[in-house]
Every structure is written in C-alpha cells, then in structure tokens.
Chain A
C-alpha cells in the first residue's frame, strides 16, 4: 500500500512539473495534439508545408494501384544509403540533397532516361518526417514534368501496408 501511495505521489508531482514547465517552455505543446489518425489507405498524407500549386498528393491505395498497373515511374528522393536499405521495388533514386544545382534539368532528363514530360512520376521519401519528396516534386514540376504526384506516406507507409520492399543492403544491424 505504501508503494502505491508513493507511486501516486511521484505521478502527482511529475504531472505538476510537466504541465508547469510546458506553460513556460519555448517549445510548448498543446495538451491535445493534432495527430493524423491511421486511415484505411484512401486518404493521402498531406504535410502542413504543402502549398497551392503543388503536385497532387496521393494515398497509399492510389500509389499501390499505380504500382500494380506498372505504367508509373516511382522516384525515391532520399539519400542513396536509405534507398539501398529499402525502397519501393523498381524505384529510381534521385537524392534531392545531392542534386546538381547548375545542371538540374540535364540531370533529371538523364536519370529519367528521356521519359516523356507527361509520364506519371510518383515521388516519395521515408514518410511524414521527411519532406525531400515534396521539394523534388516541385523541382520536377518546375522543369516541365506535368505528371508528378507525391506519395507523402512514403516507404514507411508502403511497408506498414505489408507491400513488397526492395532491399539492396541489409540494414537491420
């Protein structure tokens, strides 16, 4: 009983400190956060940084049906090391952080092997914590690729839905 009473006292003071410090914290958070509920896959993940004119954001269900149809090109915007650890099978790696700024258009054209500007390109990265897919998609759109879509759920949502992942390197350890 003494143990439970002590545990309750510790919890009480932890709560006082938590809410007290949070009210003065430079990075204070609201008591009820706004987190996305997991969907059945029909709702696209749209980041807060999305802006008007951005390429369309697609849900996992659409990404999956495009993948199965086989007519879309999937582009992984992450670093090569992350790409090698696990990506959507058949994806092309176009690491946004290493894009050659002075010859971007030639680089895109060569990596996409002369794909038509109307070709459906589905750009993704890890998931909600990364936004390189958004930046890469904006660049592709700016250079005339009009079939760009953003799959913001990314490789993580793909894996969560138990879809196949292509691993070039074993990164489990």
Chain B
C-alpha cells in the first residue's frame, strides 16, 4: 500500500488531473466574476459582504495552487489549499442537497442556465479529494521544480 501511495508516477498523474481541473474551473470564474458572485450567493451560506472578495480571490487561488502543484514549487502549500478547497466545496454541495436547493453549483462555469445535479458534482469532488489526500501523505517527490534548487 505504501508503495502505491509513494509511487512517483501515480503522484504525477494525480498532480496533472488536479491541476488541470482546478485551472479549468478557475478560468470561467475569472472571466465573469459577477456571475460567480451570484453563484456563491445562491448557496446562502456566506455573509453577503464577503461574497465578492471570495469570488475574486478563490479562482486565483485555484490557478496558483494548480500551477504550483503541477510544477512542484510551493508544493506542500498547494496540496494543503487543494484539500481545503475540496472539503469546502463538498460541504457546500452537501448543504444544498440537505436543504433541497436546486441551484447551479458554479463549479466549472461562473453560472449556467442548465442546473446540474449536485450529487454528480459532489461525487467528482470526492474522487478529487481522494487524489489530493493521496498527495498529502505521499512521499513521492520526483519531477518537481523545487528539486532543482
């Protein structure tokens, strides 16, 4: 088991998948911050005064964490953020399911007219969290920019 967790090739694949998804997800949110702010508001979780600040900072944190994870610089910090973000996304989606809210999750687009089932998105996030947790405990350190310095 430890050998699988510490596998360099598995860690690399997990990094590419997580980084790709986080960077892709961030792009649409940066292009249309108004729609992303509205998507956050729809969850009815955060105080309204904080929504725009989060709508602005979160996508850039997703991009920077994705890039850092991919290239292997600020690697541990990036893994920490990706785990935290995934846990928050899962908790937010679970709360919409619990409260019976039928909202657009704002996950890959800032907003869309099609309302996707929250369960599907939560299952994807749980799968990603498994990869992120694997990277958190893995000792694999190959193919990282930090090794060059």
Binding site for B on A (CB under 8 A): 2-11, 13-15, 17-19, 21-22, 25, 27-38, 86, 129, 156, 159-160, 162, 172-173
Q: By the criterion CB–CB under 8 Å, are B48 and A2 in contact? A: no
SS of B interface (majority): helix
Query: Once bound together, how far apart are the Cα atoms of A4 and B44, in whole Å?
Result: 29
Q: By the criterion CB–CB under 8 Å, are A159 and B77 in contact? A: no
Q: By the criterion CB–CB under 8 Å, are B100 and A159 in contact? A: yes
Mask of B99-119 contacts with A, CB within 8 angstroms, 1/0:
111110000000100000100
19 cross-chain CB contacts under 8 A? A4-B80, A6-B74, A7-B76, A11-B57, A11-B81, A14-B57, A17-B60, A18-B60, A19-B56, A22-B33, A27-B31, A28-B33, A29-B56, A33-B48, A35-B37, A36-B48, A37-B48, A86-B102, A173-B117
Which residues of A are found within 8 Å of B76, using beta-carbon distances? 2-3, 6-7
Q: By the criterion CB–CB under 8 Å, are A17 and B64 in contact? A: yes
Partner of A27, one of B33, B57, B77, B102: B33
Q: By the criterion CB–CB under 8 Å, are A29 and B33 in contact? A: yes
Q: Which residue of B lies closest to A33 (CB)?
A: B52
| CB contact under 8 A between A29 and B34, given known A10-B77, A160-B101 | yes
Which residues of A are found within 8 Å of B48, using beta-carbon distances? 33-37
Distance in Å: Cβ of A80 to nearest Cβ of chain B: 15
